[in-house]
Structure 1
Amino acid sequence: MAKIFVFNPDHEIALASNNCKYNPKRNILRLNDDLSVLPVWFCSGCTIERSSTNSEWSQTASSMGLQYDICDKIDYPALTDIDAWGWNKSLVTSLTERGVNRELLPDDTRLTTIRRLTERRTAVDAMEWLLSSLCEFELPTSPVIITKQAEIDDFTNKYSEVVFKSPLSESGRGVRFASAQTINDNLRGWLRRTIEQQGYIVAEERYSVLQNFAMEFHTTHDSTTFDGYSLFETDGMAYTGNTLMPDNEIEAHISSMIGIELLNAVKSQLIIFIQKNIAPHYNGHLGVDMFVFGQNGNTLLHPCVEINLRPTMGLVANIFYKNFVKAGKRGLFTVDFYRHSDELLADHIRRKADKPLIIENRLITNGYLSLCPIGGQTQYRVRVEVYP
């Protein structure tokens, strides 16, 4: 065994805690366990630490040519390479205590820089870069950094609705909507505590979103490359799922609303920004969330809502489509949560019967698949459905 991939989807929560001994809540532990084998679908040949899978999942993975290794116990001192969903103090401390060579892990300086770059201030900086570089296009104003309580009412009174965001949060956490009429003592208390604890909040106008999407990139010290698109949905704040379709069709869909010239210009300028400001300090996957919105009868683009300094579910969906779905097909990629595990198991059995998986030449042409094994205690699932 030479390389493992650590799946830690609670990365941003651990990052916000900035604690070497962050203790995840029970639901996070459940999420980590239920989805622990997800990396095998986007990190070919990696090793995952897990006690077992099940024969049904293993047979399906084999029929699709999946290359992976699952071990119930890893010899951490023997590792020569290690990757993770996201790097933070808690993960590095845990791996060091298990005997991983410290030279394989980010040092304290790099961890501090990753945390700084993960803050929403980086997205604000990128937005200001785009505004100064793309003057010929109509773009929304840049979000505002608020560091004082007194600035909150002044900003709220400018717009019919606003969004407040904490510097560090995960998948909808740390986001609050408000207006001059609805802001209350509870929200003011949250804003005050966030400013006291994290130094600032980000504020911007709330827009009428027509389509969420993201551009996925990969960085090295020498280059930044565009990996593809993510066409996704939210429940208003948190991610719910992706549409599975080819990049060229996603591009055509977005371009039909805002024009290909703007889309390409944003992509080019983001590559320059990332290479200049992020790549010197971070190598790996990152995603830039965007959305198309309607305003005063016009269809416009918000080109930098958030920057995720890690792989994203949208990236996983993109890679999965390219590697395991027949070209031209469409489908759904989503993350499900069930409060009761028996309900998830029943749904899994029903979907297998109603939408049987069809694989031709190791590619899905139709049907339902859970990307991770479903057992008696499973509450989280990454579900794929490919349409006929």
Structure 2
Amino acid sequence: MTKKALYIFNPEHDLALASGETNYMAPASARQMASELALLPMWYAEEGSVVLAPSAYNLDYVKKIQELLGLSVDLMTEPELASERNLDIHPWGWDIAVRKRLLDLGVEESELPSIEQLDKLRSCSHRSCAVELLPQLQLGACFCGESFYLTIPEEWKSFVESHDTCLLKAPLSGSGKGLNWCKGVYTPSISGWCSRIGNQQGGVIGEPLYNKMEDFAMEFRSSGNGRFDFAGYSQFRTGGSGAYEGNLLISDAAIERNLSEYIPVEEIYKLRNRLEQELLLRFGTIYNGYLGVDMMICRFPDSPVYRIHPCVEINLRMNMGVVARHIYDRYIYPVSTGAFQISYYPSEGAAWSAHKEMEETYPLEIEQGRIKSGYLPLVPVHKKSSYRAWILISKSVHL
């Protein structure tokens, strides 16, 4: 009997990993994001699968998208979960908190990864793994990047004081979270932050700051039994604080063209091949699912002017770049391009009015079952919504 694939959007995963607690309770904003964007996995789920979400306000939307674009993905609610057997479960990311939640909902332990497996995964998600990998990816003059795992107060202090500007990172933290920007002075607040993070997570990561021109990522899929495949590129944008803002919806070939304005494309292929080998070595039998390696194109005053920082971060989980890749490849008309964005609106009604305005300004045009132009919300939007996930498609949309 084939297993039914079940997808779960748990964006609090990185925070749950950092806490390491079985009964981790995410902050209200993360819980709200998880509930309002619960349907996001329907855009990358395999055909015939189900997405865990409350039916009350999601069902109409699912039916509408099934009719519009022929998606063959259905809803499953939490009460229905207990009576289902033989599930192949795909959360956004695996951690002991989501495992406990599924057990509490009646999923059998045999269908879940063991605590030992998840502990191993947590240690592989620690940013010290990216620090270790980075030197293996310095494949010549077109590459750059340094990163240090600092474990004692003397190292924290001397690292900050020896750089005019630098970035300290918590080894486990959410997107754009756990970052501390320093300007050469080891202040009491930086010292307190380092002590707190060091006590919880073993140390802090120290990195020089680079003159970043572009954010991009290489996405891979691991089978968990020694197969590792390249799954595409992601070109994305982050805000000033480092938090994710959105992705370009363009082909892999178009992303290669964009990157090759800075770096010869052969160097990009060389990196991709080396990365596949290195990731297979480290995670090939430990991890089953998508993973992304975030990178940057940086500018330098000397030659070569542009270089790739090949490993800013490794995400051993589903990520927005893979979501964007799936949406473009499956649902966007070949000559169209666009943008995929997650937006947050703190004041009530703001998300709703932005949604209505875009719906009116950019009517949806579908040809041959694919989106040619216009605006489409990827999850339902309501008057009380704070989060929107949406795409805007045209012949040439830029983030």
* TM-score of the aligned structures, taking structure 2 as reference length: 0.93
2:243 to 214, 218, 238: 238
- Secondary structure at the aligned position of 2:80 is classed as coil
Render the CA deviation track for 1:46-104: whole Å, top value 9, x for unaligned. Answer: 21232232646632442111111113332325231222111111111111122212111
Matched, 1:115 2:122: yes
* TM-score of the aligned structures, taking structure 1 as reference length: 0.95
1:375 to 376, 379, 382: 382
Render the CA deviation track for 1:13-44: whole Å, top value 9, x for unaligned. Answer: 01111111011221111101110011011003
**8 Å Cα contact 2:12/2:31 also seen in 1:** no
1:14 maps to amino acid:
A
Matched, 1:186 2:189: yes
Name the % identity.
30
- Secondary structure at the aligned position of 2:270 is classed as helix
- 1:330 is displaced (CA, Å) by 1.2
Question: Any gaps of 5 or more consecutive residues in structure 2?
Answer: none
- 1:295 is displaced (CA, Å) by 1.6
Q: Paired residue for 1:199?
A: 202
In structure 2, distance between residues paired with 1:66 and 1:57: 9
Relative to structure 1, the CA distance from residue 31 to residue 153 in structure 2 (aligned partners, 3 Å threshold; closer, same or farther) is: same
- 1:194 is displaced (CA, Å) by 0.8
In structure 2, distance between residues paired with 1:56 and 1:99: 27
Structure 1's consecutive aligned runs of 4 or more residues displaced over 4 angstroms after TM superposition are none
**8 Å Cα contact 2:50/2:75 also seen in 1:** yes
Render the CA deviation track for 1:262-316: whole Å, top value 9, x for unaligned. Answer: 1111111110011111111111100000000112141111000000001101110
Matched, 1:321 2:328: yes
2:394 maps to amino acid:
Y
Render the CA deviation track for 1:247-266: whole Å, top value 9, x for unaligned. Answer: 00101111220111211111
**8 Å Cα contact 1:2/1:78 also seen in 2:** no
Matched, 1:76 2:82: yes
Render the CA deviation track for 1:131-168: whole Å, top value 9, x for unaligned. Answer: 3xx2x334324311101111123222333211111110
- Secondary structure at the aligned position of 1:171 is classed as coil
Question: Any gaps of 5 or more consecutive residues in structure 1?
Answer: none
1:324 maps to amino acid:
Y
- Secondary structure at the aligned position of 2:281 is classed as helix
- 1:176 is displaced (CA, Å) by 1.0
Q: Paired residue for 1:20?
A: 22
**8 Å Cα contact 2:222/2:229 also seen in 1:** yes
Map 1:152-231 onto structure 2 (within 5 A): 152-181=156-185, 183-220=186-223, 221-231=225-235
Q: Paired residue for 1:333?
A: 340
1:143 maps to amino acid:
S
In structure 2, distance between residues paired with 1:170 and 1:56: 29
2:256 to 251, 254, 279: 251
1:140 maps to amino acid:
C
In structure 2, distance between residues paired with 1:194 and 1:129: 27
In structure 1, distance between residues paired with 2:284 and 2:64: 39
**8 Å Cα contact 2:14/2:173 also seen in 1:** yes
**8 Å Cα contact 1:126/1:270 also seen in 2:** no
Map 1:27-176 onto structure 2 (within 5 A): 27-44=29-46, 45-49=48-52, 50-52=54-56, 53=58, 55=60, 58-72=63-77, 73-81=79-87, 82-131=89-138, 134=139, 136-176=140-180
Render the CA deviation track for 1:198-217: whole Å, top value 9, x for unaligned. Answer: 11111111001100000000
Aligned residues: 384
In structure 2, distance between residues paired with 1:140 and 1:353: 46
In structure 2, distance between residues paired with 1:56 and 1:91: 26
Render the CA deviation track for 1:172-208: whole Å, top value 9, x for unaligned. Answer: 1111111214x42112110111111111111111001
- Secondary structure at the aligned position of 1:176 is classed as strand
In structure 2, distance between residues paired with 1:338 and 1:374: 12
In structure 2, distance between residues paired with 1:295 and 1:75: 54
- Secondary structure at the aligned position of 2:349 is classed as helix
2:237 maps to amino acid:
E
**8 Å Cα contact 2:142/2:306 also seen in 1:** no
In structure 2, distance between residues paired with 1:162 and 1:75: 47
**8 Å Cα contact 1:285/1:309 also seen in 2:** yes
1:164 maps to amino acid:
L
2:294 maps to amino acid:
D
Q: Paired residue for 1:3?
A: 5
**8 Å Cα contact 2:62/2:74 also seen in 1:** no
